[in-house]
Amino acid sequence: MPTLGFLIDNRKCIGCHACTVACKSEHEVPLGVDRTWVKYIEKGAFPNNRRMFTVMRCNHCDHSPCTTICPVTALYRRDDGVVDFNNDRCIGCKACMQACPYDALYIDPATSTAAKCNFCTHRLDAGLEPSCVAVCPEQAIVIGDLDDPGSKISQLIERHPVQVRKPEKGTKPKLCYIEADEAALVPSRTEPDRQFIWSRGDAATNGHSANTLNVDQSGHDSQLPIITAPPEPSRVYDVRPRPPAWGWEVVAYTWTKAIAAGSFLAVGAARLFGSEEMAAAMSVWMGIVAIVFLLATTALLIADLKQPKRFLYVLLRPQWKSWLVRGAYALVSYGGILTIWLVARLVGADGLADALLWPGSVLAVLSAVYTAFLFAQAKGRDLWQNPLLSLHLLAHALLAGGAIWLLFLAATSNEGTVLASRLVIGTLVFSLVTLLAEIMTAHPTADARKAMKMIIGQEYGIQFWVAGVCCGHVLPLVLLWLGGGWALTLAALLVLSGIFAVERLWILAPQRIPLS
């Protein structure tokens, strides 16, 4: 079988958008989303300025992270190397959008499923070229077998230096460019939120510097503006930035999941560091809280899907490389053990409950931290690749469990206040150290550094330092040190609020970094 790839010859591209129009027409792509689009970049200063056109689309990677993270094999790689998709299997989880470093995927508003360039596979199977290739007036788009040395695309790649987007990701993209410019291929080289040509704005120059021409050809004064391009590369035409794929539902899910896992772990901590009587006294309360928040976690996961009626596909049609699938089975297994354990406690089968406590604790830990491995599969978001993220999530689960334990003690006046306070103090220190380590880690990419700067800097800095660190960590430490019923209750509520604040920033900030 051939290994098909795309080549964009930027020496020929004139930015006519014929490929964009042909793609939209061929696949009935709705307004507001694109499988293929052209980005305009301007460099230099007038009169030595230049405009470059770059066609953007799916890279049909050999090591495609979208197919790895997809939980139901809705995205798959064909034998000819084309990454295709199946609308009938897609659950609309949007994980593929986070995994793709090239911003190639979107949710089709007509079908509520993921979509992207699929190399016009229906035309390929009929012996035809993709529609964008057929309509290009300059033959700037070349396709062919990358494994065949005699194919036109292989010969062009052999004769000319070519570039690919984000080679450091290790995806082995099969979309190559001749004479592409770094300013076009690297999103961070230009700002995406400026006014574009042909767009409405208060300034007629659309953000460019303007000089006034004082004399026209007849020698009279004139107010015609001379538009000069800025010296830095400027993105003057592009598709609109996409909103975050994962919003409040995912933020809330990480919070409820931390409480669901941490509540059970608190019982294990009471049994391990306290006594059997102490653990038994809190078991029913903590078990009910764990089940309620585990159900809330499930509801939030389903609510975030664009095809919620297909949510069982994750369990019934699993793609086992995806941590969405592994995490779903971890949650189901944890929920099963948790339910049996709670029933055993209620009916007095203490021997069975004690036997289930430790395997349940292992599943609770896995349920708490699997999201770190899921985020690591989201190759498009560099900050989520930090290996400390699993410790970050574990710390939050332990904190959440400790906070719920403190609320239980405040409501019942049972013994264990000293032990619970000490465990929460230790976990707060552990969480602070983990946060500081994540901040101080030498992030390897510009996108990761920019996302972290957003979190601790001007964009989100007040929320992070005040709500996340001071109110969520430092103030609870002080309150726990002082002791007292009201102090313990307030500390527990502040801890839970701080967890939510930090999780929100860690999820939303990386999604503000443009991928194309």
CATH of domain 248-512: 1.20.1630.10
Top-tier CATH class for 4-189: alpha beta
Provide the pairing of β-strand 175-178 with 162-163.
Answer: antiparallel
CB of 281 closer than 8 Å to CB of 414: yes
Convert the pLDDT of each residue in 27-54 to its tens digit. 999 988 999 999 999 888 878 888 899 9
What's the angle, vertex CA 400, arms to CA 346 and CA 371, rounded to 5? 100
Query: Can the peptide bond before residue 167 be classed as cis, meaning omega within 30 degrees of 0?
Result: no
pLDDT given at position 207? 40
pLDDT digits (tens, 9 = 90+) for 196-238: 666 654 333 334 433 333 334 444 444 444 444 456 888 888 8
pLDDT of residue 458: 84
Measured between alpha carbons, how far is residue 296 from residues 230, 250, 258, 310 in Å?
51, 12, 11, 18
The H or E element spanning position 40 is strand 37-43
Lowest mean pLDDT among 118-122, 223-227, 253-257, 367-371: 223-227
**Cα-flanking dihedrals φ and ψ of residue 431, to 5°?**
-65, -40
The percent of residues in the chain predicted with pLDDT above 90, rounded, is: 80
What does the pLDDT average to over 292-303? 98
Q: How many CB atoms lie within 10 A of CB 10?
A: 17
CB atoms under 10 Å from CB of 474, counted, come to: 15
pLDDT of residue 213: 36
| pTM score | 0.90
Distance CA 76, CA 79 (A): 10
3-state secondary structure of 137: coil
| Arithmetic mean of pLDDT, 238-244 | 85
**How many helices and strands (H and E) does the chain possess?**
18, 13
CB 57 within 8 A of CB 6: yes
Mean pLDDT of the chain: 91
Q: What is the mean pLDDT of residues 79-107?
A: 96
The pLDDT, as a whole number, for residue 43 is 87
Residue 55's Cβ-side half-sphere holds a number of Cα atoms within 13 Å equal to 33
The per-residue pLDDT for range 7-16, each reduced to its tens digit, is 999 999 999 9
What pLDDT, on a 0 to 100 scale, did the predictor assign at position 204? 36
User: Tokens 């880690």 map to which residue?
Assistant: 441
User: How far is the C-alpha of 360 from the C-alpha of 336, rounded, in Å?
Assistant: 9
DSSP output for 185-219: H-GGGS-SSS--TTS--SSTTTTSEEEE--B-TTS
Question: pLDDT higher for 99 or 206?
Answer: 99
For residue 47, the 8-state DSSP code is T
* Partners of residue 9 on adjacent β-strands: 178
Rounded to 5°, the CA angle 463-469-475 comes to: 120
The answer to whether residues 113 and 87 touch, using CB atoms and an 8 Å cutoff, is: yes
Q: Which residues contact residue 186 at a Cβ distance below 8 angstroms, ignoring those fewer than 6 apart?
A: none
Question: What proportion of the chain, given as a percentage, has pLDDT over 70?
Answer: 92
Between 150-164, 345-359, 403-417, the lowest mean confidence (pLDDT) is in 403-417
Per DSSP bridges, beta strands 141-145 and 113-115 are: unpaired
Place of tokens 């297909």: 310
Q: Note every long-range contact of 355-363, with CB atoms under 8 Å and residues 24 or more positions apart, other chains counting.
A: 357/267, 357/268, 357/271, 357/279, 358/268, 360/264, 360/268, 360/334, 361/264, 361/265, 361/268, 363/330, 363/333, 363/334, 363/337
State the pLDDT at residue 498.
97
Report the sign of the C-alpha dihedral through residues 479, 480, 483, 486, in that order. Answer: positive
pLDDT of residue 232: 80
Copy the structure tokens of residue 461: 């800095």
The predicted pLDDT at position 188 comes to 86
Residues 288, 342 contacting (CB under 8 angstroms): yes
Helices within 378-484 (DSSP H only): 389-412, 417-440, 446-456, 461-462, 475-482
Single-letter code of the amino acid located at 47: P
How many other C-beta atoms can be found within 10 angstroms of the C-beta atom of residue 306?
17
What pLDDT digit, counting tens, does each position of 370-420 carry?
999 999 999 999 999 999 999 999 999 999 999 999 999 988 877 789 999
Between the CA of residue 74 and those of 3, 77, 88, 480, 498, what are the distances in Å? Answer: 21, 10, 8, 49, 37
Give me the pLDDT at residue 236, please: 86
Residue tagged 């004082």 (tokens): 214
Question: What pLDDT, on the 0 to 100 scale, is given for residue 239?
Answer: 86
User: Can you give the residue ranges of every domain in the chain?
Assistant: 4-189, 248-512
CA angle centred on 17, ends 11 and 23, rounded to 5°: 115
Closest CA to 331 of 403, 397, 414: 397
Q: How many CA atoms lie within 13 A of 190 on its CB side?
A: 27
When pLDDT is averaged across residues 80-90 and rounded to a whole number, the result is: 96
Give the residue, 85 or 275, on which the prediction is more confident. Answer: 85
Lowest mean pLDDT among 15-29, 208-222, 289-303, 421-435: 208-222
Q: What residues does 177 pair with on adjacent strands?
A: 8, 163
